[in-house]
Amino acid sequence: MAGGGGGGVGGGVSPLGPAPPTWYHRDLSRAAAEELLARAGRDGSFLVRDSESVNGAYALCVLFQKHVHTYRILPDDEGFLAVQTSQGVQPKRFKTLLELVSLYLQPSQGLVSTLLYAVEREETVVSDDRDYSDGEDEKPPLPPRSVSSCPPPGPDTSTESAPAANGLSTISHEYLKGSYALDLEAVKQGACSLPHLNKTLLASCKGLNGEVDKVLSGLEILSKVFDQQSSFMVSKMIQQSVNQGGDQALENLVTKLAILKDLLSSIEKKALKTLQDLSLSPCSLPPLSMRHSKALPVQAFEVKLDVYLAELTKIGKSQKYTLSVDVEGGRLVVMKKVKDSQEDWTTFTHDKIRQLIKSQRVQNKLGIVFEKEKDKNQRKDFIFASAKKREAFCQLLQLMKNKHSNQDEPDMISIFIGSWNMGSVPAPKSQASWVLCRGLGKTLDEITVTIPHDLYVFGSQENSVCDREWVESLRVMLKEQTELDYKPIAVQTLWNIKIAVLVKPEHENRISHVGMSSVKTGIANTLGNKGAVGVSFMFNGTSFGFVNCHLTSGNEKIARRNQNYLDILRLLSLGDKQLSSFDISLRFTHLFWLGDLNYRLDMDIQEILNFINRKEFEPLLKVDQLNLEREKNKVFLRFGEEEISFPPTYRYERGSRDTYVWQKQKATGMRTNVPSWCDRILWKSYPETHIVCNSYGCTDDIVTSDHSPVFGTFEVGVTSQFVSKKGLPKTSEQAYIEFESIEAIVKTASRTKFFIEFYSTCLEEFKKSYENDSQSSDNVNFLRLGWSNKQLTTLKPLLSDIEYLQDQHLLLTVKSLDGYESYGECVLALKSMIGSTAQQFHTYLSHRGEETGNIRGSMRVRVPSERMGTRERLYEWISVDKDETGGPKGKSTLVSKVGHEYVKPHVVRKPLGELGKVSEEGERTSKEETSARTKQEAPDGEPAICKNSYNNPAYYILEGVPNQCAAALSPELLPSPTSPNAQGALEMGAESSFSKLRSIYPDLAEVRIPEASHAAPPGLGEGLRRGGGGAGPLDDQSCSVLQMAKTLSESEFPGQPARAPSAPPPLRGPPMGSGLDACRTFPPRNAITESIAEDMPEEALWGSSSSSLSVGESSVGEWLQRLGLERYEQGLLYNGWDDLEFLSDITEEDLEEAGVLDPAHKRILLESLKQQQQQQK
- Residue-wise pLDDT for 917-961, tens only, equals 333 333 333 333 333 333 333 333 333 333 333 433 333 333 333
Query: Minimum mean pLDDT among 52-61, 332-341, 952-961: which range?
Result: 952-961
pLDDT of residue 1023: 36
**Mind spelling out the 3-state secondary structure of 1047-1104?**
HCCCCCCCCCCCCCCCCCCCCCCCCCCCECCCCCCCCCCCCCCCCCCCCCCHHHHHCC
pLDDT at 1027: 37
Q: What is the pLDDT of residue 306?
A: 86
Band (pLDDT 50/70/90 cuts) for residue 243 is low
pLDDT per residue as tens digits for the range 888-917: 433 333 334 456 655 443 333 333 333 333
Q: Is 71 helix (H, G, I), strand (E, B) or coil?
A: strand
Q: What is the pLDDT of residue 307?
A: 75
The 10 Å CB-count burial string (b at 16+, else e) for 604-628 is eeeebeebeeeeebeebbbbbbbbb
What are the two backbone dihedrals, phi and then psi, of residue 396, each rounded to the nearest 5 degrees?
-65, -40
d(CA 21, CA 1133): 67
What is the per-residue pLDDT for 269? 72
DSSP code at position 24: B
Helix (H) or strand (E) holding 997: helix 982-1000
pLDDT at 477: 97
Q: pLDDT (tens digit, 9 = 90+) per residue, 847-874?
A: 999 999 999 999 999 998 877 777 778 8
Q: Which range has the top average pLDDT, 3-17, 269-283, 720-734, 868-882?
A: 868-882
> In what helix (H) or strand (E) does residue 495 lie, and over which residues does it extend?
none
Asked if pLDDT for residue 806 goes beyond 90, the answer is: yes
pLDDT one-digit tens code per residue, 625-636: 999 999 999 999
512 Cβ contact list (under 8 Å, min separation 6): 221, 537, 538
d(CA 479, CA 694): 22
Residues 6+ apart with CB under 8 A from 668: 128
The pLDDT assigned to 231 comes to 60
Q: Do residues 943 and 1118 make contact, with C-beta atoms less than 8 angstroms apart? A: no
Q: How many CB atoms lie within 10 A of CB 803?
A: 19
Q: Average the pLDDT over 1094-1115 and give the result.
A: 39
Residues 564-582, mean pLDDT to the nearest whole number: 93
Judge residue 539's burial from the number of C-beta atoms within 10 Å of its C-beta, 0-12 exposed, 13-18 middle, 19 or more buried: buried
Residue of 345, 316, 349 whose CA lies nearest to 331: 349
Cβ atoms of 1095 and 1053 within 8 Å: the answer is yes
- Could you tell me which residues come within 8 angstroms of residue 419 by beta carbon, excluding any fewer than 6 positions away? 459, 460, 461, 548, 594, 595, 596, 679, 680, 681, 709, 710
Phi/psi for 805 (5° steps) reads -70, -30
**3-class DSSP state of 340:** coil
pLDDT for 1006: 36
Query: Per mean pLDDT, which range of 107-116, 554-563, 989-998 is the poorest?
Result: 989-998
Tell me the C-alpha distance between 324 and 391, whole Å: 15
Residues sharing a CB contact under 8 Å with residue 1149, sequence separation 6 or more, in sequence order: none
Query: Considering only CA atoms, which of 1160, 1155, 1164, 1152 is closest in space to residue 1123?
Result: 1164
Q: How far apart are CA 429 and CA 445, in angstroms?
A: 24
When pLDDT is cut at 50, 70 and 90, the band that residue 211 belongs to is confident
What Cα–Cα distance (Å) separates residue 969 from each residue in 334, 608, 975, 1040, 1104? 64, 41, 11, 17, 10
3-state helix vs strand vs coil in the chain, percent to 5: 30, 25, 50
pTM listed for this prediction: 0.67
The pLDDT of 807-820, averaged and rounded, is: 95
- Phi, psi dihedral angles at 930 (to 5 degrees): -60, -45
Highest mean pLDDT among 375-379, 666-670, 807-811: 807-811
For residue 552, how many other CB atoms are within 10 A of its CB? 20
Alpha helices in 227-311 (DSSP H): 228-240, 246-280, 288-292
Q: What percent of the chain has pLDDT over 70?
A: 66
Radius of gyration of the chain (CA): 31
Q: What are phi and psi of 1014, to 5 degrees?
A: -125, 140
Residue 351: DSSP 8-state: G
**Arithmetic mean of pLDDT, 245-263:** 71
In the predicted model, what is the mean pLDDT of the chain? 75
899 CB burial (10 A radius; 0-12, 13-18, 19+): buried
3-class secondary structure, 502 = strand
Model confidence at 408, in pLDDT bands (50, 70, 90)? confident
Report how far residue 463's alpha carbon sits from residue 144's, in angstroms, rounded to the nearest whole number: 10
782 bridge partner residues = 747
Task: Note the pLDDT of residue 585.
Answer: 96
Q: How far apart are CA 574 and CA 406, in angstroms?
A: 34
The answer to whether 420 and 337 are in contact (CB under 8 A) is no
Helix (H, G, I), strand (E, B) or coil at 991: helix
**What is the predicted pLDDT for the residue at 133?**
47
Determine the pLDDT at residue 142: 56
Cis ω before 651 (30° cut-off from 0): yes
Q: Percent of the chain, pLDDT > 90? A: 46
641 and 896 in contact (C-beta within 8 Å)?
Answer: yes
Number of other CB atoms surrounding residue 934 within 10 Å: 8
Cα(989)–Cα(862) distance, integer angstroms: 43
- Cα 45 → chain centroid: 36
Contact 415, 716 (CB under 8 A): yes
Cα–Cα nearest to 848, from 563, 1041, 566: 566
Looking at mean pLDDT, say which of 96-110, 312-326, 888-902 comes out highest: 96-110
Q: Average of pLDDT values for 521-529?
A: 77
| Burial (0-12, 13-18, 19+ Cβ within 10 Å), 955 | buried
The span from the CA of 54 to the CA of 75, in Å, is 10
Helices (H) and strands (E) in the chain, counts: 27, 38
Q: Tell me the C-alpha distance between 950 and 1050, whole Å.
A: 8
Distance CA 248, CA 239 (A): 14
Q: What is the dihedral of CA 727, 730, 733, 738, to 10 degrees?
A: 110
pLDDT at position 191:
75
Q: Which amino acid is at 968?
A: A
Helix (H) or strand (E) holding 942, with range, is none
Q: What is the pLDDT of residues 124-156, one digit of tens each?
A: 654 544 544 454 444 555 555 444 433 434 434
The answer on pLDDT for 407 being more than 90 is no
